[in-house]
Amino acid sequence: MQDFFQDIHSQLFDPERIPVAMAAWLLAGIIGMITGPMHGNANPFVWVVYDKTFGKIGGRLDNKDRQMSDLFFRGFILTMMGAVVAYGIGVFAQNLVLEKPFHGATEIVLLAMTLTGGTVWFALLKLYFAMKEKKVGKGAYYALAHSMRTDLSGSDDFGITRAGMSLAARSFDKGLVAPVLWYLLAGLPGAFIYAGLAVFAWRFGKDGFTKGFGKTALALEKLMGYVPNLVSGMIMALAGLFTPTGGMTRALIGQMFGRDKAKYEEGGLPVTAMAYSLNVSLGGASTDLDGSAIKREWTGPKNATAQLSEGHLRRAIYISLMAHLLFMVSLVGSLLWAGKLF
């Protein structure tokens, strides 16, 4: 029976890729903590490149004065082009690994381009120390605003903190769990295709409030990201068990039965788990960098506070770190289950 389940496990993904995924996470974390966000963007490197290319093109095409059908068609064409390019990059990356492996370093570096972690912690720690010293200025939340695509110029410290906490949860899902799972399933092409769709959903989806341009990207990203979102939510809830004043049970109950849960487009289960685990209220209406109204629902337990301070941000960073570590532990467990650890 154990052999049967091990066969299923090996068919779902290649266990040989697990050490590469762990090394890529470590590389992305270390480099990110050293360099900080690139161009003020704490998201994966691939996202930054797409934002500087397809993002500029799409920004011109996504004209809010046009009809919804026109915007949908434009967004569909650009998203399909982006997906094809992402697939091409993934195939090229896979071939490069075969031709120039450099003892596995090539694959690790290429996969790390689809991940994030260190840059997010860098940005949030910078904000935390600025809030602690009462020196929150534009420089403190610049990376947060660009990474969340949210205009924070008119927000108070409470709103900025909520945005930072949401980024910690969402980046864990979209910048680690999802690309790694698709890498394990389909290699570098899978990771790059997911990253390409995720950046389109982030850039044009407007958390589900797009007029039409980002609908294709949102739908395709949700198709690939739904299961990873479930996994991220479970791990984020478990991380609450190891976080001071956090709670795993209420996070799990909140994800299953809570009335105020984040929609998938607004972060889904990881954001819900963080809010319920830390007993806070996340979300709320905002304005994105293009001037569009983003009317997010409130997420969290009933009567939980939305007036969040640097202490709440510190706990969010901590629970994010624990979630990352638990995900790595789960990969080690998968390696052990596959009989590849020893």
Give the span between the Cα atoms of 127 and 142, in whole angstroms. 9
% residues pLDDT > 70 (the chain): 94
- Structure confidence at residue 341 (pLDDT): 61
- Structure confidence at residue 191 (pLDDT): 96
| Both tokens assigned to 94 | 């896979």
**pLDDT, tens digit, 9 for 90 and up, residues 292-320:** 899 999 999 988 999 998 999 999 999 99
The answer on pLDDT for 4 being more than 50 is no
- Listed residue (251, 205, 233, 207) closest to 62, CA to CA: 205
Tell me which H or E stretch contains 334: helix 310-337
Give the span between the Cα atoms of 166 and 266, in whole angstroms. 9
- Structure confidence at residue 65 (pLDDT): 80
- Structure confidence at residue 135 (pLDDT): 76
Residues 6+ apart with CB under 8 A from 13: 181, 184, 185
Check if the beta carbon of residue 194 is closer than 8 Å to that of residue 32: no
| Both tokens assigned to 280 | 């806070």
Burial status of residue 59 (CB atoms within 10 A of its CB: 0-12, 13-18, 19 or more):
middle
**pLDDT, tens digit, 9 for 90 and up, residues 120-171:** 999 999 999 988 888 776 677 889 999 999 998 888 889 999 999 999 999 9
Rounded average pLDDT over 181-188: 94
- Listed residue (113, 285, 123) closest to 206, CA to CA: 285
- Structure confidence at residue 224 (pLDDT): 96
**DSSP symbol at 211:** S
SS3 label, residue 287: strand
**DSSP symbol at 280:** B
SS3 label, residue 40: coil
- What b-and-e string marks burial along 301-320, b requiring 16 or more CB atoms within 10 Å of the CB? beebebebebebbbbbbbbb
Alpha-helical segments (H) within 149-280: 157-172, 178-204, 215-239, 248-257, 268-278
**DSSP symbol at 245:** T
Tell me which H or E stretch contains 298: strand 293-299
